Chain A
Amino acid sequence: MSTIVETHDDHGHHGPAKGLTRWLFTTNHKDIGTLYLWFSFLMLFIGGSMAMVIRAELFEPGLQIVQPEFFNQMTTNHGLIMVFGVIMPAFVGLANWMVPMQIGAPDMALPRLNNLSFWLLPMAFGILISTLFMDAGGPNFGWTFYAPLSTTYAPDTVTFFIFSVHIMGASSILGSINIITTILNMRAPGMTLMKMPLFVWSWLITAYLLIAVMPVLAGTVTMMLMDIHFGTSFFNAAGGGDPVLFQHIFWFFGHPEVYIMILPAFGIVSHIIETFSRKPIFGYSSMVYAMTSIAILSFVVWAHHMFTVGMPLAGELFFMYSTMLIAIPTGVKVFNWVATMFKGSISFETPMLFAIAFVSLFTIGGFSGLMLAIVPADFQYHDTYFVVAHFHYVLVPGSLFGIIAGVYYWLPKWTGNMYDETLGKLHFWLSFFSVNLTFFPMHFVGLAGMPRRYPDYALQFADFNAIVSVGAFIFGFTQLLLLFIVIKAIRTGKKASDEVWEDTKDWGLEWTLDSPPPYHSFTVQPEVK
C-alpha cells in the first residue's frame, strides 16, 4: 500500500542550503547518503591503517614494531571499525541515496530521524577511537569481546566501548525503522513488492534483521556493564553465571550481523550484472526467496562460531546441519548471477569488473565457510588464520567490492560526471590482485597451524606472512586511488546522461531522473507498469 505523495510547487525550485550547516541539519536523503559514504570512506582509511600496523608487525617473526598490548588494541579496533564503521554505514549510505529513487519517492519517510541516525555515528566512533589515546588504552579483547576478558580483565576504557556500541546500535535501529517505513509506504503506484528492485528487497530484509538483532547486542553489552560495575554475574562462574552465555548471546547477534553485511551487496551485484549483461536478472523471485531464507536461517546457526566451547553432541550436530543448509539459497543466488551472464551481451566497465570479482571471490569465501561448518574439521580450523581468510574473503572481495561496485555504478548518477574509466580499471586490477595476494595465503597459514590474534608466530609461518603483508600494503595504498577517482569525478569528467549506461531506463526508476538528480528526486510520482 503506497500513500500518494503531494507535490510542493509552492516552494519553487530550490537547492540545498549553503555552507557547513547544510550538512549538519540536512534532511535530504541524498545529502545524508553522501555523509554516510564519506564517513565510511574515512573509517576505511582509519581501520585500514590499523590493518597496516598489524601486517607490518606480522611481516616477520619477532616483535619489531609494536608490543602485544598495542597489537591487541589494533586487532580489536580494526575489526570494530571495519564492521560498524565502514561496511554498515556504507550500505546505509547507498540505501539512503538509492532506495527513494528506486521506488519513485521524493525522500525517506522520516527525514529528521535520518539525520539523527547519521550524526550518531561520528559521536560513537569519536568515543571509541578516543579510547586509543587514553592511558588505559583502547579495547584489546577482540572485536568479539568475549567475557571474562572483556569484563573482569578489561581496561577501564571498556565502559566507553560499551557506550559507543550502544550509540552505534541506536543509529542502526533508527535507520532501519526509516528504511522499512519508506519501502512499505512510499513505493510508486504499480510497484508491488515483487516488482521492487533487488537492492530495495535486500535492504528491506536487512533492515528487519537489524531491528531484530541490534537490541540483542545492546543487551549483551548492558549485561557486560552490569557485570563490570554493578556486581552481577551473568558471565562470571563465581556468581553462578557462565562465560559461554556471553558467546551465545553475542553470536545470536553476530551471525545475523554478517548477513546484514552481505545482503545489500547481493542486491547491488544483481543490478550491475543485469545492466552490463543487458539481460534481466535470472530468477527474480528465487533471488527474493533466497535472500529471505538466508535471513531466516541466519537466526538458527549462531553456535557454529562456538564449536569448541564444550557443547553437547546433539547441539553441535544441529548447528552443523543448519549452517550447511544456508549454502543452498546462497548457491542459488550464485547460479542465478551466472545464468544472467550466460547468453547475455556483456561489457566490462569498472562496476561489472567488481561485480564479477564479487561473484567469484565471495564464492571462494562461501566454500571456506562450508568447510568451517563441518564440525570435526572445524576443530582444526577454529581460531586459526583459516577463519580469518574466510571472513576476509566474504567481507573484502565480498561486501567491500560490492560497495565499490555500487559506487562506480551510481557515481555518474550522483555527480553528473563519468568517472575516469581507465583509472577505475586500474583500481580494479590492483585491488583484485592484491586482495588475493593478501588473503589467499591465509588459508594455508591457518591450516598449517597459525592461530588468530597472534602478534608473533613460529618460524614455519614466516614466508606466507611476509607475502600477506606485502599484499595488504598494496591493497591499502590502492584505495587511495579510489579516493582520487571519486574526487575527480565530483569535480570534472565527461557529462553523464540520465541513463548513464545502456538502456538502463528499463532496469530501474533511478535512471529516469537527471544526472545529478533534482534535490527532491521525484517531485512527480512515477507510474510503474
Chain B
Amino acid sequence: MAKKESAFANMVFTLFVITLTASTALGFVYEFTKAPITAAKQAVKMKAINEVLPEFTNLPHEEVYKIAIDNDTLYFYPARENRRLVGTAIETFTNKGFSGNIKLMVGILPDGSINDIVVLEHKETPGLGDKMSKSKSDFSLQFQGINPENFNINVRNDGGDIDAITASTISSRAYCDAVNRAYKAYLKGREK
C-alpha cells in the first residue's frame, strides 16, 4: 500500500497533518458538547437532591458552597422553599469502598437529622455491596430520620447501631464512613 515514499519529511508531514486535523475536529466537538455535558451532570445532581430532601423551590446548585474537612472538600447544596431553608444536600464520598470510591448524596434537615441518602456512584460487587442502592435492598432506609447526635453511625461489628449488609461489611462500613464525613462537615459548617 506504499503509494507514497517513506521519506522522513513525508512521514513527519503526514503525521503532523493528521494530528492537527484530529485535534481541531476534537476541539470543535468538545466545545459543542461542553454545555450538554455540564447540563447532564447537573441533572444527575438535581435528581439526587430531589430524592433526599423534601420539596423546595430554589435551584440548590446555584447556591452551592464548599466545606473543607480533613484535607477533603465537600459540596453543600441548600434547598429552600421561598427563602426558608428546607434542608441541605451534601455530596460526600469515601475511599474505603470494596472496589473503589463511593459517592453519596446525604440530605440533612435543619434540625440536624438525616432525611434520606442516595448513592451517586459506586463500583461495589453486584449482589453484595451494590445492595446499598435503594433499588437493591432496604439497607439505606435505616438511615432515614436518625440524628447522628444520638445515633452511632457505624456497623454493629464496630460498636455502632447500623445493621450491615449481609456478607458486605466492608461496603457497609464505607457507606457509614461517607455519611459520617458528611455530618462532620455539616457540624463544621454550622459553627460559622
A binds B: no
